[in-house]
Chains A and B, each alone.
Chain A
């Protein structure tokens, strides 16, 4: 799909680009993606001790830059970033470019970025790890009803449910930019089992819950993904679409 068509689609959509990081060899990713990084990103990349961490970080930032370049005639290496409110990464304000907003997330073997047109957005991906101490973590950031809901499940169901809820909360916190400052114990959702959950009407800490659109999905059998988008204009984001990006293809 051409740049203008994709950009026009953002009028009513948010796009989520995902990629499997185990689908591209480290040498190839380094050769094609390392040059995209700016000085700060390169320094961060070099600080990682682990080859896996470096690979995932590079994949995430290469995905972000190459995805942004689908919406504007900008070379992936030329995107400039700045810190927004709460230090949330944002595009450097350039009036010549469309007002794209983005958020990025990565976990073992999967990276994802969400792109919108002038709408706050957040994305979270997690590998569904049954060895996580989900009940103890839930007591810190889940509501009483969410904690109780975990207790009613089998252990395997509880793990799945935990990551469904956690990724939604994290995507929301990243969309607002508040991160760990968000009152996650007061944020809860309806239709948790569905692809398009919604903020519960009793979320009194959220000024306009109807402005928010969510996506919850299983991009691979081992991962959970959630996206949160807040409309800033009269048109509410009606659709969040998942696009699979082939990191190898992006570098041809």
Chain B
């Protein structure tokens, strides 16, 4: 499975969150505790779409996972690393 680019991942997460039109979000926007008003169901939605699309199961009790949910950028980096560790041959395919 191809590791998504940050842009592709960003688009997926923003579409999943279905934010109001007046809400601005960038890859560096804080997902929680910042300008968005996301709740726990939103966090689960994000986890669910990552699980469904990239077959990566996120453990909400894991400290590294919780840190990854800081921004879409940090989440993308986390998911990419997980995907890479599951399929090391991907790193050659993505580098090509």
Interface 1/0 per residue, B29-51 and A, CB below 8 Å: 00001111101110111011101
Tell me whether A137 and B48 are in contact (CB under 8 A). yes
Which residue on A lies nearest to B43, using beta carbons?
Answer: A180
In contact, B41 and A132 (Cβ under 8 angstroms): yes
Which residue on A lies nearest to B19, using beta carbons?
A50
Structural contact, A133 and B34, CB atoms closer than 8 A: no
Are B37 and A136 in contact, CB atoms less than 8 angstroms apart?
A: no
Q: Are A141 and B22 in contact (CB under 8 A)?
A: no
- Docked complex Cα distance between A139 and B20 (Å): 27
Contact in complex: B23, A166 (CB < 8 Å)? no
> Which residue on chain B has the smallest CB distance to residue A52?
B20
Q: Which residues of A contact B (CB under 8 A)?
A: 44, 47-53, 56-57, 107, 126, 131-133, 136-137, 139-141, 166, 170, 179-181, 183
- Apart from A47-B34, A180-B40, list 13 A-B contacts with CB within 8 A: A48-B37, A50-B20, A50-B22, A53-B36, A57-B37, A132-B45, A136-B52, A137-B41, A139-B51, A166-B41, A179-B40, A180-B61, A180-B66
7 A-B pairs with CB atoms under 8 Å apart are A50-B22, A52-B37, A57-B37, A136-B48, A136-B51, A137-B47, A170-B40
